[in-house]
A and B are shown apart, each in its own frame.
Chain A
Amino acid sequence: MDGNLMEVVSEVFGVDEDDITPDTSPENLDNWDSMNHLKLVTAIEEEFSINLSMDEVEAIVDVKSLSDIVNNHAK
């Protein structure tokens, strides 16, 4: 998985990169609340210079889906 993406996730949620797995999601990470979800979107958009659509934002349910969406933009 892209190193930058892990860095973004870890910085937004304030947790170690090592503690983040593809399965990390709002269900198992306390800091992943609705407000931090928005911060994550903004941070991802800044980092990869992309614009996520509303559909994409709502489709982010865990780190894996986030990574897929970002990779899709890279193509």
Chain B
Amino acid sequence: MDKETKKNIKSTPDWNALYSIIKELDYTSLNTREIELVNRQIEKTRANADLKVAYLSNHTIDTLAPYVSVISAMHGVNVESYIAPYDQYFQELLSETSGTILFQPDIIHLDLSVRGLAPLICEKFLSLDDALKLAEQERIISLISQLANLAIKQTNAYLLVSNFLQPAYPQGGIADLKQQQSETEWYSRLNLALIGSLRNNNRVFLVDKNNVLARVGKENVTDSKMLYLAKMELNDVGLQALASELNRYIIAIAGKTKKNLVLDLDNTLWGGVIGEDGVDGIKIGKGYPEGEIYYALQTYIKNLKQRGIILTLASKNNLEDVEEAFEKRTEMPLGLSDFATKRINWDPKHTNLVSMAKGLSIGIDSFVFLDDNPVERALVKSTLKEVVVPDLPKDPSTYLNILMRSPYFEKLFLTEEDAHKTEQYAANAQREDTREEIGDMSTFLSSLGTKVTIEIAKKENIQRVHQLFSKTNQFNVTTKRHGVPEIENFIENESFDLFSISVTDNFGDLGMIGVVLVEIKDDIAYIDSFIMSCRAMGRAIETVIMNVIKEKYLPAAYARQLVAEYIPTAKNVPVKSFFDDQGFDLVEKGDNGRMRYELKSKAKGAESLECIGIEIYVGE
């Protein structure tokens, strides 16, 4: 970091100014002091933290927090931290008045080391009898389970549990693997058992520290001097690696996951330029070095699609050439149908990106733009500041690693929906075309053959429901970002009704596209959240849902009222007049554009509104 940058960082007046500088930095090149400098400025300029993270450990991990805060800040998440006193993890979770509990964390990171939990294992593994080795293992697993349960009970936080670092060298040397109970096996089994015991809790996530530290090399992550001086088990290399992994969870929890990967073609998805080298001349496929590079890259990108990232194309080319390439070069892992939409033309790419965002109805701030051409990247960067534009070096064999290291595609869960996301968005684009052909709106809607299913959300839907709460920006009347713990409560607690809405039509299965949360207090049914994925917008589906809500909560013979609120954000303009349109009465205009609505039984507006050609199923 040069002097100028340091000076600029120190003089930033607020978080936004700071973010705009540090988002351009590469955190792997920052030294300890620079991390400190940025961290200090984050704390100084903080108005509101996006997330509060508490760190619990039995070794000295204080310096992990600045790394996490700085890396997350570079990705646009403001993280405030609390470091629990050394080795106090149990008391911190148990006591109602501990620092951790009072801090009200959104995330608790629990990182324990075998050195602290079971010194015998670290010191004299070779002389321990097998029964004792197993007993120690069971003791650790049951301790972690106990701690996880405590954290769940005592807080509303997500719990991130580090697994255990298998030592770089086993005490038995290479002969360890021939032992009946080898040390290697002991650690593997311990970590395996942890996966099993934590998998089914939706608020507890395992962090594969053992793998994360292996990425940078186990010999490189410890500084013996610091270990003996201060019980610091990880040096800065190790802390940075662990922090960047925690950042992946933080991005997913903060809802900063990107939705759309926009790809260039020539020299990005294949080697060469199709206009010059011809369809047969471009490099892609197995068997020769340059082809292998792009084969591996396309394979990884296809897996991103499986993870629910929408793929799109933005390439300056002739459309016929591109279609021919995908058709003839069958060795390509990606096919044209893998892309939800494409802009193959000679318009500036930023113009294409904007029109793409409109066509897909997703925000441009959920785009990642991958292009080998530095000029194109610079242009997109300067015109569309919200788009993430990874810098690509000259060597294309590095692209894959850059994508793998990016935390922007992380989700806490993968759902059934994810694997079909591109198809769903592609079907949407098709529906748009049909709409243009038919012209008349009601004829168009009838032609879709829409079937809407509304039912009470079940436990097994939590992951998708959580996705909708955390990621929907446009059709979201209150934008309350309820987390998994709250959602669990809505399902169990009788004063809440949480509805899930799924849609299918002639073009395909849209999956679960909406949630509605109603809180019932005496005679009032309060619409806490009314959320619909953007791919279901513009089809009168919201009216169908509202009709069901009206029927359920405003039966003709009973005096009750529905209360609703619109809380404006930068993104939810599309639902600004939603409650007006649905016949609600505006009763109060609050600060910052908040609006409060009511609808009473037997009121004129409580009647069902007309919806054309939509079949409806109301489940239990």
- A residues near B, CB below 8 A? 8, 11-12, 14, 34-35, 38-39, 41-43, 46-47, 52-54, 57-58
CB distance from B236 to the nearest CB of A (A): 6
* Minimum CB distance partner of A35 in chain B: B62
Q: Cβ of B40: which chain A residues have Cβ within 8 Å of it?
A: 14
B33 engages A43 (CB within 8 Å): yes
* Minimum CB distance partner of B236 in chain A: A42
Q: Which 8 A-B pairs have the closest CB atoms?
A: A11-B33, A42-B32, A46-B31, A43-B33, A43-B32, A54-B225, A35-B62, A38-B230
A54 engages B33 (CB within 8 Å): no
In the docked arrangement, what's the CA distance between A6 and B36, Å? 16
A8 engages B33 (CB within 8 Å): yes
In the docked arrangement, what's the CA distance between A42 and B228, Å? 15
Q: Cβ of B226: which chain A residues have Cβ within 8 Å of it?
A: 38, 41-42
In the docked arrangement, what's the CA distance between A14 and B43, Å? 13
**A-B contact sample (14 more), CB < 8 A, given A12-B36, A38-B232, A43-B32:** A8-B33, A11-B33, A11-B36, A12-B32, A12-B33, A38-B230, A39-B32, A39-B63, A41-B226, A43-B33, A46-B32, A47-B31, A52-B225, A58-B229
CB distance from A69 to the nearest CB of B (A): 14
A34 and B230 contact, Cβ closer than 8 Å, known pairs A39-B63, A42-B236, A46-B31? yes
Q: Cβ of A41: which chain B residues have Cβ within 8 Å of it?
A: 226
CB distance from A53 to the nearest CB of B (A): 7
Which residue in B62, B225, B230, B235 is a CB contact (below 8 Å) of A53? B225
B32 engages A57 (CB within 8 Å): no
In the docked arrangement, what's the CA distance between A14 and B228, Å? 26
Q: Does B37 contact A (CB under 8 A)?
A: yes
The contact sample of 25 A-B pairs, CB cut-off 8 A, is A8-B33, A11-B36, A11-B37, A12-B32, A12-B33, A14-B36, A34-B230, A35-B60, A35-B62, A38-B63, A38-B226, A38-B229, A38-B232, A39-B36, A41-B226, A42-B32, A42-B235, A42-B236, A43-B31, A46-B32, A54-B228, A54-B229, A57-B225, A57-B229, A58-B229
Residues of chain B in range 62-88 having any CB-CB distance to chain A below 8 Å:
62-63
In the docked arrangement, what's the CA distance between A49 and B142, Å? 44
Interface 1/0 per residue, B216-247 and A, CB below 8 Å: 00000000011011101001100000000000
Q: Cβ of B62: which chain A residues have Cβ within 8 Å of it?
A: 35
In the docked arrangement, what's the CA distance between A34 and B231, Å? 12
Interface size bracket, B side:
10 to 19
In the docked arrangement, what's the CA distance between A58 and B307, Å? 51
Q: Cβ of B63: which chain A residues have Cβ within 8 Å of it?
A: 35, 38-39
Residues of chain B in range 315-365 having any CB-CB distance to chain A below 8 Å:
none
Pick the most buried of A8, A11, A52: most chain B CB atoms within 10 A of its CB: A11
In the docked arrangement, what's the CA distance between A7 and B37, Å? 12
Q: Cβ of A14: which chain B residues have Cβ within 8 Å of it?
A: 36, 40
Pick the most buried of B225, B230, B232: most chain A CB atoms within 10 A of its CB: B225
In the docked arrangement, what's the CA distance between A69 and B40, Å? 28
* Minimum CB distance partner of A13 in chain B: B36
In the docked arrangement, what's the CA distance between A34 and B63, Å? 12
CB distance from A59 to the nearest CB of B (A): 12
* Minimum CB distance partner of A10 in chain B: B33
CB distance from A5 to the nearest CB of B (A): 12
Q: Cβ of B225: which chain A residues have Cβ within 8 Å of it?
A: 52-54, 57
CB distance from B72 to the nearest CB of A (A): 20
Q: Cβ of B33: which chain A residues have Cβ within 8 Å of it?
A: 8, 11-12, 43, 46-47
* Minimum CB distance partner of B66 in chain A: A39
Interface 1/0 per residue, B26-41 and A, CB below 8 Å: 0000011100110010
Q: Cβ of B236: which chain A residues have Cβ within 8 Å of it?
A: 42
CB distance from A71 to the nearest CB of B (A): 20
CB distance from B229 to the nearest CB of A (A): 6
In the docked arrangement, what's the CA distance between A18 and B230, Å? 30
* Minimum CB distance partner of A53 in chain B: B225
* Minimum CB distance partner of A56 in chain B: B225
In the docked arrangement, what's the CA distance between A14 and B225, Å? 25
In the docked arrangement, what's the CA distance between A7 and B235, Å? 22
Residues of chain B in range 10-40 having any CB-CB distance to chain A below 8 Å:
31-33, 36-37, 40
Q: Cβ of A47: which chain B residues have Cβ within 8 Å of it?
A: 31, 33
* Minimum CB distance partner of B83 in chain A: A35
Q: Cβ of A39: which chain B residues have Cβ within 8 Å of it?
A: 32, 36, 63
In the docked arrangement, what's the CA distance between A53 and B465, Å? 54
* Minimum CB distance partner of B34 in chain A: A11
CB distance from B506 to the nearest CB of A (A): 63
Q: Cβ of B31: which chain A residues have Cβ within 8 Å of it?
A: 43, 46-47
In the docked arrangement, what's the CA distance between A43 and B230, Å? 16
Q: Cβ of A46: which chain B residues have Cβ within 8 Å of it?
A: 31-33
Q: Cβ of B36: which chain A residues have Cβ within 8 Å of it?
A: 11-12, 14, 39
In the docked arrangement, what's the CA distance between A41 and B36, Å? 14
Interface 1/0 per residue, B377-401 and A, CB below 8 Å: 0000000000000000000000000
* Minimum CB distance partner of B230 in chain A: A38
CB distance from B424 to the nearest CB of A (A): 49
Q: Cβ of B232: which chain A residues have Cβ within 8 Å of it?
A: 38
CB distance from B291 to the nearest CB of A (A): 42
Pick the most buried of B33, B40, B230: most chain A CB atoms within 10 A of its CB: B33
In the docked arrangement, what's the CA distance between A52 and B225, Å? 9
CB distance from A55 to the nearest CB of B (A): 10
CB distance from B493 to the nearest CB of A (A): 43
Interface 1/0 per residue, B50-63 and A, CB below 8 Å: 00000000001011
In the docked arrangement, what's the CA distance between A38 and B63, Å? 10
